[in-house]
A and B are shown apart, each in its own frame.
Chain A
Amino acid sequence: MGILRRLRLRELLLKALPIGALWLAGCAAAEHGVAGGSFEPATPGVLRVVTAVVPTPGFWEGTPERVTGGYERELAQRLADRLDLDRVEVETTSFSRIVTGDLGGADLALALLTPTDERDEVLDFSDPYFVVPPAVLARADLRVRDLQTARALRWVVVQNTTLQDIVADTIDPQTDPVVVPNRNAAVREVLAGRGDAVLFDLPLAVAYAEGSRGALAVSSKLQTAEPIAAALPDGSDNVEAVSAAIRAFRADGTLDDLAERWLAPAARRNGASIPFLRSSRR
C-alpha cells in the first residue's frame, strides 16, 4: 500500500469513480462494432446455417424438419444474437457437399468440421470452438486399448472426413474399412455387426455410446486433438466477425456453458477419464 500512498492514487481513484461508472454504463450498453469485424448475412437479418446430419447427438437434436437444440444449434443462435441478427435458419445437406465448398448459399456451416489444407482451398474457417481428440467407439464387448487390437478390428469410416484418414494412417487396419456416407450410418453398421468400431470426435462418440443403451462403448482416445471450426464460403468477408465472436464466447464462458448443457459429462475436459490408445499391449 506504500506505493498507493506515495502516488496519492487513492484520491485519484476516488475522483475517477464517477467517470468509471459512466464508462461502465457505456460498456454495458455497447454494441459490438467493426473492431471485431463486420458481418454481412446472405439474407438480411437471418443467419443461415447449414449442417450435415440431424440428429447428431449432443450437437443437433431433433429432426431435420424440427431442430430442438444441441451444442452447434445453440452456438448458431448465440452467433446470431452477437451479430445482431434476428433469427437462425437451419438447412441440411451432405457432409461431402459441405467439404467441397458448397454451402448452398448459407452463411456458414456448423458440422463438426476440422480445417484441413484441402478444405481450406474451397472454404474459409473461423477460429476453432472445440479442440477434441478422436475416440474409438466400439461394440461394448470389445476392449480397444492398444493399436494391435485396433488393427485387427473391422473399421467403419465416414467418407470425406479427416477421421477416415486417421484410421488409414494411424490405425492402419488389417482389413479395408467399410465406407459409409454419414455418422448415423456408421453407427448402424457397428450395431448391426457389420463393423466393430468407428472413430468419432470424442464428444460425439460419448453421446452415441450413451444413446446406445449399453451396446456401444468408448474404449479409448487418440493422443492428437483436432480443432473444430465453423466453415464459411471461400473468400467470405464474415470470417473475422465469426472468429471474434467465437473468441468472445470462449472468454465469457459461453462455450463452457454450451458444453455443460449439451455434452455428456464423460466428454468434458477432453474425456479425462477415457484412456489413450496405447501403441503396444504392455
Chain B
Amino acid sequence: MTDVLAAFTLHPPEGPAFELLVVFLCVVLGPPLVQKAKVPGIIGLLLGGFLIGPNGLELIPAGSVLVPELGKVGLLYLMFVAGVELDLALLRVHRRAALVFGLMTFLAPMFMGTAVGLLLDFGAAGSLLLGSLLASHTLVLYPLVRERGLASDPAMASAVGATVLTDTLALVVLAGVAGSETQGGGVGSIALQIGGGLAILLVATLLLLPLAARATFGTLGRSRPIRYLLVFSFFLAAAVLADVVGIEGIVGAFFAGLALNRFVPNRGPLMSRIDFFGTALFIPMFLVSVGLLLDPEVMTQGETLKYAGIFVAACLGGKAIAAALTGPLFGYTRSQAALIFALTIPQAAATLAATIVGFDIGLFSETVVNAVLVLILVSVVVSTLVGERVADGMTAVDAGTVPLGEHVLVVVDEGLAPDLACHAAAHIAEADGGIVLPVLLLRSRRGAADAVRLRALEDAVQVAGIDADPTVIVATRPAEAILDLAAAQGASLVLVVQGHDQADPSFGSWSEAVAGLCPAPVAMVRGGYGGFRRTHIGADPRVDPAAPAVALAREIATRLGATDLHARPLDENAQGLTVVPVESWGELDALATPADGGLLLVPAPTVSRPTVPDRPEPPPEEQR
C-alpha cells in the first residue's frame, strides 16, 4: 500500500488551462468582493491580477506570455468598445457645447499633465504622453447618470459628446508620441510617418470600414456568429493596419469603433454580443493582465505616492477647471457643472491603455505605471462619491427629441413583400445608430404557411443588414396590437407594409388607424425594392410645403439618400422610391403604386416631435 501511495505523485498545476482558470476565478470573484466595500469592480480585477501575478501568489509566473498576450487583445477590444458605444446622436444634438467642453476638458489637464511631466524631468515625449493620458477619461459614471434619468440633461449630453473628442485627441497624441519614440529619423520623417499613418488609418476606418460593413452585413453577416466575427475582424484589421503604418493598434481599434458606431446600435443584439464577450472575457483579461504589473513594494514607495499625488492633483485640477469654465458659458447650474466634473474625471480605459503603451515603449517606468494605477483608483472613487451626491439633488430630465431612427418598427402584413420596408428601416435607423424591430402580422395561425412567411421576412431582414429576429403577432384587431407594441417598444417610427387593396372604403385600413392614433410617426410602404438611388419626394402641388407631413417626408427622404428635397409632381411611371407627404386619407387611397418603383406614404404625424435646442435655457437652480 505504501508503495502504491509512493508511486502516486502530484504535479504542480501549470500551463494555459491553469492560467486561464485562475484568471477566470479573478474575474468571477474579484469585482463582487470589492463591490461589497463600495469599490468599483474594475479595482477588483486589478487587485485580482496582482494577487495571482508574479508579485502576489505567483500562480502566473513572470515569464508567462498567455495572459499578457490575451490582455493585449483585450486592450484593443476595450478601445473598440469605447468607440462603438459612444452616443454620436448626443454629440450631433449638442455639438457646440460638446466641442467647447471637449476641447477644454482635454486641454486643461493636457496642459497641467505636460507641465507636471516637464517639472518632474520626464522629457518632452514622456510629459506629453502624461498630459494626454490625464486628458482622456472613461464614462465610468455614465450608467449612474442614465439610471437617474439625467442622460438627456444638456450638460450630461455635452459631457458624453465631449468624450468622443477628448479620447480621439488623447489617442492622436499617443500616436504621435509613440510614433516619434519608435521610429528613427529626423523631425520631417517622423511627421511624415505619423501624419501619413494617421491619414491612411482615418481613410481606412472612417471611410472604407463602413462600406465594408454595409457590404458584408447583408451577405456574409447573415449568420449572427459570422456577423460578430466580422465586427471582431474589422477592429483587428484596423489595429493591424495602425501597427503597419506605425501608429499604436489601440488608435486603430478606437477609430474602428467610431466608424462602426452606426452599424452597431447600442440597444441591438450585436452590441449585446460585443458587450457579452467584452465583459466576460476580453476586457477583464486586459485588466487582470495590468494587475500583474501591480507591485505593492513599488506602489507604497515614497516616489510612487509622490507621483500619484501630483497626477491626481493635475488630473482633477484640469478637469475641474474645464467644468468650471464651461458652466457659465452654457448657463449650467452648479450641480450640472459638478456632475460633468464627476463624469469626466474617471481615469480607466484610455488612461490605462496609454500608460501601458508608454510602459511598453520604455517611456514610463514601473513606478509611473503604479502611480497611474493609484490615480485610476482615486479618480474612480472620487467620481463615484461626487457623482452620487450631486445626482441625488438633481431631477430627472425628459428625453426630449427621440431621433426618428432610434427604434423603427416594421410591420409586415401577411402575404406582403417586406423588402422595401426592411431596407428603408435599415437606412433610417442607421443614421441614428438605432435598431429595427421587424414584425410579422398574422390574423390566425396556419402552420406551414406561417413558417414560409416568417422565413421570407427573416431573409428580407438579413439581406437588408438588420440585426434582429422578427417578432410574430397574431391579432384579429391589428391596429390595437400594433399600437400596443409601438407603445411598449417606444417606437420612434412605424413603417407599415401596405397592400393597395386593404382599405375598406367606409372605415379605411387598419394601418390608417395606426397612423391616426400612434404617438410615433407612421409611414406606409408600397411596392418593391430597387435601391434608393432615385429616391425623391413626390407631392400634389396643392400640398402646403410647410405642412408637418412634408417636413417628415423630407427627413425620411434625406435618410434614404435623396439629394433633391423639392417635391416633384406625382408620376405613376416614376422609377425608384417616391416619398409622398399625404394630407388626407382619401388622397392616400387614390395613389397608385408605380410599376417600377415604390411608394413611402407619409401622413401628417399625429403628434409633433419635440426638438431639443442646441443651447437650452437652464432651469432655475431651486427647481432641480
Contacts and interface: CB of A to CB of B under 8 A. Distances in A.
Contacts of A226: 63
Interface in B174-229: 176-178, 180-184, 186-187, 190-191, 194, 202, 206-207
B207 to A, nearest CB: 5
Interface stretch (A21-29, A48-56, A272-280): A21-29
A37 to B, nearest CB: 4
B328 interface: no
Interface in B134-184: 164-165, 168, 176-178, 180-184
B362 A27 contact: no
B361 A20 contact: no
Interface in A1-26: 1-4, 6-9, 20-21, 23-26
B443 interface: no
Interface in A207-264: 225-227, 240-241, 243-253
B125 interface: yes
Nearest to B123: A33
A35 B117 contact: yes
B363 A36 contact: yes
A31 B62 contact: no
A115 B62 contact: yes
Interface string A30-74: 111111110000000000000000000000000000000000000
A249 B362 CA distance: 8
B191 A21 contact: yes
A247 B365 CA distance: 10
Contacts of B63: 115, 128, 131, 225-227
Contact of A37 (B194, B207, B258, B365): B365
Given A23-B128, A27-B125, A227-B62, A251 B182 contact: yes
Contacts of B120: 33-35
Contacts of A250: 360
Give the residue among A1, A36, A131 with the most B Cβ atoms within 10 A.
Answer: A36
B362 A30 contact: no
Given A4-B206, A20-B176, A28-B180, A248 B361 contact: yes
A29 B186 CA distance: 9
A227 to B, nearest CB: 5
Nearest to B92: A6
A33 B365 CA distance: 10
B176 A3 contact: no
A25 B62 CA distance: 37
A192 B113 CA distance: 64
B206 A23 contact: no
A24 B191 contact: yes
Contact of A7 (B165, B358, B359): B165
B122 interface: yes
Contact of A31 (B123, B176, B186, B358): B123
B95 A27 contact: no
A4 B202 contact: yes
B65 interface: yes
Contact of A33 (B88, B121, B202): B121
B364 interface: yes
Given A23-B128, A37-B367, A8 B99 contact: yes
A120 to B, nearest CB: 9
Contacts of A20: 176, 191
B368 interface: yes
Contacts of A253: 182
B126 interface: yes
Give the residue among B125, B184, B359 with the most A Cβ atoms within 10 A.
Answer: B125
A174 B25 CA distance: 42
B95 A7 contact: yes
Contacts of B99: 7-8
Interface string A61-91: 0000000000000000000000000000000
B181 to A, nearest CB: 7
Interface in B56-73: 62-63, 65
A23 B363 contact: no
Nearest to A239: B366
8 contacts: A1-B206, A30-B123, A30-B126, A35-B127, A36-B126, A37-B367, A244-B364, A252-B361
Interface of A: 1-4, 6-9, 20-21, 23-37, 115, 128, 131, 225-227, 240-241, 243-253
Closest 10 CB pairs of A and B: A248-B362, A35-B126, A33-B123, A35-B122, A30-B124, A27-B180, A37-B365, A251-B361, A240-B365, A26-B124
